[in-house]
Structure 1
Amino acid sequence: MKMLLLPYVILQVFHAVQGYPNGAPTGACEDMLPRHVGVLPQPSPAPYSLLTNSRTFEAGKPITVTIKGPDYRGVLLEARTDGSTNGLGSWSLPPPDTKFLQCTGNPQGAVTHANTNVKGNSTVYNWVPPSITSPVYFVATIAQQRTVYWINVRSATLTRGTYRTTQSVCKEGLKKKTFSVCSLLDRNNSWPWSGYGCRCHNG
């Protein structure tokens, strides 16, 4: 029996030493920490940034995310809202050398590396938003190699796109003098407009 267990033990030790070359484990979904034994995240600012093709989102309309910076080999990428560690929405068409990772019961709740091949600025990730009203941001753990990685690399916050539609309606009403008063408001009902909404009325 001991002889039968020996190969299994050796395999587990090998994975602990080598990390996870074929993708992050589901246990990393919440804290987004690689299970690289004896290796800590880099304390310096990350040389990466997460760029999106839009600062707003609409349910079902894909958003592209690109990791700008030096080439990298490992990644764990999720969409989140403030105060939650759940992966939001679903990712589609994982780019070459990456794959889906099931998080919070969602089979496409995150994207991770499928191997240690080099990924770079031309690697584009596609995220499909759910029907929510809360602002969303993207967060990633990015590894140049097993012993060099950064956590909590965040994008700018995206707001729900219907607010921009509302802004356009208000501006059009003001242009056509449909309304005698047209106020562009932010979340705190104050001026100037900051991308959250507006209110038009007849004085």
Structure 2
Amino acid sequence: MKSTIIHNRKIYLPDEDEMRSLRASLIDIHPNARWQQDGVTVAGGNRLGNGINQLSNPWGLYVDDEQTVYVADQSNHRIMEWKSGTRTSQVVAGGNGKGSGAHQLFYPQDVIVDKATDSLIICDSLNHRVMRIFFSSLILFVIECARIVQSYPSGAPSSTCGTMMPSHGTSSMSCQPNYVIEASKYQYNSNDTIRITVRNATRSNRFKGILLVAKDESGQNILGSWSLTDSAVKVISCDGTSSYGITQTSSRGRSQIQATWYSPSTTAEGYVVIK
């Protein structure tokens, strides 16, 4: 088994008789340098397992300039991202069981970050392949302003998915939103599952109407699909097509709604906006 040495954010893997730098040029260490005797756990350390704070037979890793650690979590068939100073991580590749699908890994052994293309390059060992997975991000917006309008108590019409204008008979407003929208994670892979939550910013806030649609960065194409974890919302077919959004089922005031968004089977470069 290769041993991994981390120094000054660089990673070096001794290969037989020579030290071969895979990430950057070697920085000289003073001959009289002294290493601390006690180490600090920066990832895992919570016994073997597949939780977000656990690893199972971790193998290769990469440390970026922000001290984020990317770990090839071999026996969990996934790549984990551990932000500096945090105790939990998130899955950035794989994590869908072992397999040969584009959204799966099979005992990955190493990972690096290609900054030029904003992607991960993964040695997918038992699939006998090297995978490139682009970082795809979610950008979440929610805008709500107080105004008395006529509304659709059983949900927004599907024709509003394109413009995101509810056609309540009044003009739109710009203001500080009183509500927040959150995701279970903010980077996604193909065929990924992400829980979306819209909640009030303060206990006194309530909302009755909502329309959420996921679009590409151009704002022209609706992406992914939705399923429900909350009876307060329903899925709508936008303009009668296979593109989907979610909206409310009644005019009852509520402080939070949740739904699950599934990313497309093919993930391109760029980001997705959910609003």
Match of 1:82 among 189, 209, 217: 217
Q: 1:132-147 alignment to 2 at 5 Å?
A: 132-140=267-275
Displacement of 1:125 in angstroms is 1.4
Cα distance in 1 for residues equivalent to 2:238 and 2:255: 24
Partner of 1:129: 263
The counterpart of 2:244, out of the listed 100, 105, 109, is 109
Distance in 2 (CA, whole Å) between partners of 1:84 and 1:138 is 8
Distance 1:47 1:119, change over 3 A: same
Q: How many residues align?
A: 122
Counterpart CA distance in 1 for 2:187 and 2:274 is 16
Q: In angstroms, what is the RMSD of aligned CA positions?
A: 2.1
Q: Tell me the equivalent position of 1:55.
A: 186
Q: Report if the CA contact (8 A) 2:197-2:258 is conserved.
A: yes
Residue 193 of structure 2 aligns to which amino acid in structure 1?
Answer: P
Post-superposition Cα deviations, 1:146-187, rounded to whole Å, max 9, x if no partner, equal xxxxxxxxxxxxxxxxxxxxxxxxxxxxxxxxxxxxxxxxxx
Q: CA deviation at 1:48?
A: 2.0
Q: For the Cα contact (< 8 Å) 1:99–1:112, is it kept in 2? A: yes
Cα distance change of structure 1 residues 136 and 116 upon mapping to structure 2, 3 Å threshold:
farther
Between Structure 1 and Structure 2, which shows a larger proportion of helix residues? 1
Cα offsets for 1:109-149 (capped at 9, x unmatched)? 1001111112323x211000002223333433xxxxxxxxx
Residue in 1 aligned with 2:107? none
- Distance in 2 between the 1:118 and 1:49 partners? 16
2:214–2:274 contact (8 Å) kept in structure 1? yes
**Counterpart of 2:79?**
none
Change (3 A) 1:80 1:134: farther
Matched, 1:22 2:154: yes
State the identity as a percent.
25
1:65 aligns with one of 196, 214, 218: 196
Deviation string 1:80-127 (CA, Å, 9 cap, x unpaired) is 111133321000125212111112554461001111112323x21100
CA distance in 2, matches of 1:125, 1:29: 17
- Residues 30 and 108 of structure 1: CA distance in aligned 2, closer, same or farther (over 3 Å): closer
Structure 1: 5+ residue runs without aligned partners?
1-16, 141-203
Unaligned runs of 5+ in 2: 1-148
Contact 1:91 1:108 in 2 (8 A): no
- The SS at the match of 1:27 is helix
1:41 counterpart = 2:172:
yes
Structure 2 letter corresponding to 1:129: S
Inter-CA distance 107–99: structure 2 relative to 1 (3 Å threshold): farther
Q: Give the Cα separation in 2 of the matches to 1:138 and 1:48.
A: 17
Q: Is the 8 A contact 2:214 2:224 kept in 1?
A: yes
In 2, Cα distance between equivalents of 1:77 and 1:95: 14
> Contact between 1:79 and 1:137, CA under 8 Å: does it hold in 2?
yes
- 1:32 maps onto 2:167 in alignment: no
